[in-house]
Structure formats: structure tokens, C-alpha cells
Amino acid sequence: MSATTTRPTDTPAPAAPVQVAPPTGGAPEEVAPGLTIARRPDGVAVLRLDVPGEPVNTLKPDFAPAFGQALDRLERDGRVRAVVLASGKPDSFVAGADIDMLAKVTRPEEGADLSRQGQRVMDRIAASPKPFVAAIHGACLGGGLELALACHGRVASDARKTKLGLPEVMLGLLPGAGGTQRLPALVGVQAALDLMLTGRQLDGRRAKKLGLVCEVVPPPIVLEVACARALALADAGRAPGPGPARSLFSREGLTEAALAGNPLGRRVLFQKAREALLAKSQGNYPAPEKILDVVRTGLAQGQRAGLEAEAQAFGALCVSPEARALISIYHATQALKKDNGTGDPSVVARPVTKVGVLGAGLMGSGVAAVTCDGAGLHVRLKDRDPKAVGHGLAKVRGGLDQKVKRRRMTALDRDQVWGRVSGTTTYAGFQGCEVVIEAVFEDLGLKHKMIADVEAACPPTTIFASNTSSIPIGKLAAASKRPAQVIGMHYFSPVEKMPLLEVIVHDRTAPEVTATCVALGKQQGKTVIVVRDGPGFYTTRILAPYMNEAAWLLAEGVAVDALDRALVQFGFPVGPITLMDEVGIDVGEKVGKILLEAFGARFTPPAGIEKLIADGRLGRKNGRGFYRYDPPAAGDGKKKKAQGEGTKPVDESVYALLGVKPTRREPDEAWAWRCTLMLVNEAVRCFEEGILRSARDGDVGAIFGLGFPPFRGGPFRLVDALGAAEVVRRLDALARAHGPRFEPAALLRSMAAAGQSFHGASAVAPRALATPGGPAGA
């Protein structure tokens, strides 16, 4: 605890009786724009934050001085016995600090000073002789949770939209207003580290179980319960002591005492935490390591030292390239939420109430799941026979049951969602579908038949969307009587987990069709980019040369597992060979042929890949690929789970099949750069040709669709970070060493000569899309 804290923050204590207060005493007093004090006759003052002109509250640059003024008035006012912090927004408490404010920080000292300003406000709240209670409904994240942590009690609503967490690590930062010190003091070091290192968010019920909030109540009575608790604290003259969630004699309490309560235990705890962290981050993200250091400082040297360490670390992280890259991705995703995909804000999406899905396999059932659950729409799932339909429906139901099991959904909610899904082997029930999404095999003739069937069974306004990953949408639309209604909606597997949706427009796609599919994707919970039609579109096209270069490295004698480790260390979630096994070697070969035919020699694969197909190696799906997928022996399950992913053995026989001898078995960063620069070069060509509307979309698509390292900001941010001239130099050197497939895109050469970038003041302008469905965007 801080030396300045006279009232310890509480852990859950028995709820005070809820008493509805009499009418408030007079009109609220404005302290500053968006910050008011309403004094009630019962002695409670409601300090309400309502940032003008914003949909949610964020902590702006004037937060510290405005709150300082409010605290001055509340402390001097003898009528006020207790204070409740509340929001003037209907469905949000405080969503965090204003990220634009952080983007203006240019020196570590500026960031550290911002942190200290926030800390001083939180310290004043925590040290106040008058109890403060936070009334939380909606998002309580980042600085918003730090504000609540400084209070002496917290009451949260049980609404699904109420979320509590410290997600700063997702932006390459750490909590900078005392959160690294107060959260461990309240919920314990292990639980606090889990929340801060993952950015995980809790609903009210989970927050109460952890000890983060005192009570969870329905939204209409959050304020009154918070006022009752504040008065109870004032009557008691002190905050409650440790509650049952932190009892010393509980298993959690004993573990906390053993690990965090003594120097030897702390050393073991932080050593294990750092090992696990580095295994996951590969040392590419400085923020999680700073969080460990700062929390450890506070435990070892006291809260005041911990707060100063927090401020110093916050300042350093604010100007780090990793934070800049992650914040840029945040801004990009926020901008995409407001983008209808056409470049014309006047285009209105059509209303959608029911979606048809053709194909009940892995992709089709996944699309059905995100549509009935995430989007809350009715779904009609069709396949060729009852067995296939039943399998797809069972997968949807299984996902819902898992949510109930993990307490992410109530049984009642599951039943309501499940009631929105139905299956069929005919087109009965498709008449009411505004959108039909096909997810059948990559066969042009089959997809043409689907289009004809849908046009015969559905109204003329029904949109036909294809989930193809490689067939040009224009070729599909050629078989349609209504080509303006045909569009691509490329989902990524597994659909329920992968965040990206790539919408593909061809030359005749109608703008309202584009806007409708973009809106549907957002309802499904996806981050949506719109790209122009072409072989491989954007994501498949840029992934192919990346994978192809990995194959060339194998042909040069690089070991399978060493190559995968090199790309994981570089920042990708999995290596390219593991990815090839997961996607399917046969699928990769088929797509590769399409792109080789379209773009020529730079997509030429090394000799030998066809031998894998001839040998029946399709990857994980048939248990034969570059890796072995041996069934686990009895008792091996827990052992392999403990070892983590990536421990499956390489099938050494694959080397003889390919006619190579693996002589390079230690990861080399140069391999990662070869693969990555091939991807980047192709991404620039997509920008150059107008496949992409913007560099923003290209960065988002690569990160959310392909796992491009987020801390590098995406392919276009990477070019900007290195400089176009340096990228050209590296590609030229690789071309001399390995051949013309590394020839830099023409746009890169012109940018290098002109000193241009993809973002910022010297940004090169994107080529306008030559389609009515999607003109150039931001």
C-alpha cells in the first residue's frame, strides 16, 4: 500500500441494504465540461463523467485538472459524506485513456509525466477520508478500471456489455495510472498478472468472483446500490477488511502467500511467468516484460517505488516502435468500423433478417454459427443430404454448448440462439433470405450451379456471396442473371475465431450490395476489408509467395522445424510449414497453380511438391504431411498439453521424398526475412494495381487474416519503418542471390526515388478501384 493511502481499497464484503434515496438535492453543479457533481439529501455526491460529443467516456488531457477541481470541492463540502463515481453515458463507464493523446507523446519524459498526473488523481481518491464507490455499467477498461481501482468499493451491473479489464498490453503499453500496483493488491499477484499480460476482460459475475468488484446487480439499480455501499462505508468509518475471495486460509490465499508473500516465492513466481511469457512472445513485445518488472518492484520495494517504476516504463513504452505499430492497427480497426466499404457514406446497407448458407461443412457451419450467435440473425443451413446437414447443425450446437459450459452464455441464451438455426436439403425456406453465402468446394461448375439454384428459389433482390478463396468473383458472376448481386465474402478458418472478413467486389457489384455485406460482416463480429476482384484477391495472393519461398528454403536444405521456428521467432503465430499442413498441402498446390497461371514465373514452386500429393500427403486432415500426427499413447495427453503446441515431430521421410538433405537445423532470421519480403512485395503490387483501397486495409488484412506480426504494424507499416529504399536494396540483393522472383515492385522503386511512404504526410495515393462496388477508400 502507498504511504499516502489512509483508506485501503476493499475486497468484497457483505452487501449493504439497498435503500432508494429521496430525490437529489438541486441541479448538478458543473465542475468542467462533461464533469458534474450532484449532491443528494442522504449525503452522497454523485460525480458524473459525460465527455461531450463522444459516444463513450475516455480520459482526456484535461482529466487530471478537472478531477482535481472536483476533489477539492468534494473534500471541502461538509454536506458530502461519501462519493459515487458514475457515467453519464447510457452503456459505458470509462473505456480508457484517449489514445490520440498518447499518440502525441514524442519523448519518454512526456509519457512518464502523463502517467504521474493520472497517478496523483488516483492517489487522492484512494487517500480520501470520504469513501468513493464506482458505479459501473458498460465498458470499464484501462484508465477507467484504474479509476475504479482507486475507489474504496465497486458495484457493477450484470449486463453483458459490462466488461472490466486492463487491455493496455494490446496497444504495447502498460496501465499507467496505478493499475499495476492496485490490481495485485486487490485480487492477488497471479490473477492480476493474468489480466494485465493478456488484456482479458471480465463480465460482472467473473469480476466479483475474482474480488475485483463488491456487488453485481441489475443495471437499473447500480447507482442506488453504489450509493448505499458508499454510505455504509462512511458509517463504518473505514473500508472493509479482506473478504472471502482473499481469505488467507483459502487455497487462493495460501498460494498467494506462498508465492507472492515472500522473496523466494516471488522469485519463483516471476521467473515462471517470464519463461511462459517469452515462450509466447519470443521477446518481440516489450510491454509484458515491463509489466512483470513494475509489479515486482512494487511488491519488493513498496507501492511508491512501484508507481514511479510504472511511470518510467509507461513513458518508455509510449514512444516504442511496437506501441506505435499496435496503436496504428487500433486506429485502423476503429476507422473500418465506420466504413461502409464503398467510399460513399451515402450508400445505405439493405436490412438483413435471414441468411442462407450453402454447405454445412467446416466453413459453412462456422458462417452459420457467427450469423445466428454474433449477428443474431436467422440462418437456413443447406447441404446435399441429411447426414451432412446434421453434422453441420451439430457443430453449431456444440459451439453454443461450449459457451454455456465455460459460462460465456446462459442456457436460456443458448436456446434462443439455437432457435434461429434450421437445416434443409432443399431450397425450402430460402425465399426469405436477403443474403445467401455459399461455402461449397472450390469448383467453378458447382458454384455456377449454386448461383442458378439460388436465383430460381429466391427473390431477385437476394445477394449471392461466395466464400471462395481463389476463384475470381467475376467468373462466378458470369453465370448470373443478376451479376450486380454477386459478391465475395471470404472467411478464414476457423470462422468462429478468425477476426477478418475479406469482401471482394467485381466490376459490376452494386454499391448497396457491398455495403450490405460489410454491415453483415460487422454484425458477425468481423473486421471487414473490401478488395477488388482478381486471382487470389488480396490475402490469398500475398500468402502464396510467402509459402512458396518457404518451399524454396526447404529445397535448399533447411529443416522443416527450424524454418517454422525462425518464422515464429520473427513474430508469426505459426510457421509456414505448419500452416501448410493445417490448410492442406493439396489446397496449397491448387491455389498455387491458379496464381502461377495468373502471374507467371515469380510464383513458380520448387520441384518436388507434387510428389507430396502423389504420396497421399494432404496435411493434418489425413494425418500425413510434413509433420507426424501419431495418435497419443495412453497418458501422453496431459504431457503434450503441458509441452504446448509445436511439439509434434517432423516426418523425416519427407526429406527423401523431396530429394533433399536437411543440413541447416538452427533457425536463421534471414529465412524469415526472405519469406516476409516476398509477402510484402506482393502486397505492394496489390496496392499498385488497385486491388487494395488503402495501405490501411492491407495492414489490417495481413494481420487479422494471415497472422502477420502485429508489432510490425503490417506489410505497409513495415515498408515505412525500414524505408522504401532499404526494402528495394534488400530485394535487389535477394534477386541477385536467388533469382528474379525477388524483383521489387515498380511502385517500391518509384517510392524509394521520391522518398515516399504508405502512411503519413508523404504517403503515396492509392489507385482508385475501377469498380462501382468499391471506390477508393481512406
DSSP one-letter string for 36-68: EEEE-TTSEEEEEE--TT-SS--B-TTHHHHHH
Q: Where are the alpha helices (DSSP H) in 87-157?
A: 99-103, 108-127, 143-150
3-class secondary structure, 685: helix
Type of residue numbered 181: Q
CA distances to 63, 134, 229, 261, 515 from 144, rounded to whole Å, are 12, 10, 20, 28, 34
The edge-to-edge listing of strands for the beta sheet with 44-49 is 29-32, 35-39, 44-49, 82-87, 132-136, 153-157, 215-217
- Give the Cα separation of 469 and 363 in Å (integer): 12
Record the cell numbers describing residue 650, joined without a space.
517432423
Please report which helix (H) or strand (E) contains residue 280, including its range.
helix 263-281
For residue 662, cis peptide bond before it (omega within 30 degrees of 0): no
Pick from 683, 768, 765: nearest CA to 344: 768
Type of residue numbered 403: K
Record the cell numbers describing residue 31, joined without a space.
465542475
The number of residues in the chain equals 778
3-class secondary structure, 432: coil
CA distances to 431, 436, 559 from 461, rounded to whole Å, are 11, 11, 53
- Selected catalytic residue, list 322, 502, 682, 688: 502
Are 209 and 191 contacting, i.e. CB atoms less than 8 angstroms apart?
no
3-class secondary structure, 465: strand
3-class secondary structure, 573: coil
3-class secondary structure, 24: coil
- Give the Cα separation of 140 and 161 in Å (integer): 10
Find all residues with CB under 8 Å of 251, minimum gap 6, and list them.
Answer: none
Record the cell numbers describing residue 21, joined without a space.
434515496
Pick from 658, 657, 678, 661: nearest CA to 549: 678
Are 227 and 17 contacting, i.e. CB atoms less than 8 angstroms apart?
no
Are 612 and 654 contacting, i.e. CB atoms less than 8 angstroms apart?
yes
Please identify which residue in the block is written with the cell numbers 495427453. 637
Type of residue numbered 374: G
Are 35 and 47 contacting, i.e. CB atoms less than 8 angstroms apart?
yes
Please identify which residue in the block is written with the cell numbers 441429411. 386
Pick from 739, 742, 689, 748: nearest CA to 716: 748
The radius of gyration computed from the CA coordinates of the chain, to the nearest angstrom, equals 28
- Give the Cα separation of 476 and 465 in Å (integer): 10
3-class secondary structure, 354: strand
The DSSP symbol for 206 reads H
Burial class of residue 54, CB neighbours in 10 A (0-12, 13-18, 19+): middle
3-class secondary structure, 200: coil
Query: Catalytic annotation on 502?
Result: yes
Please identify which residue in the block is written with the cell numbers 460489410. 518
Pick from 549, 550, 542: nearest CA to 682: 542
Which sequence positions are flagged as catalytic?
502
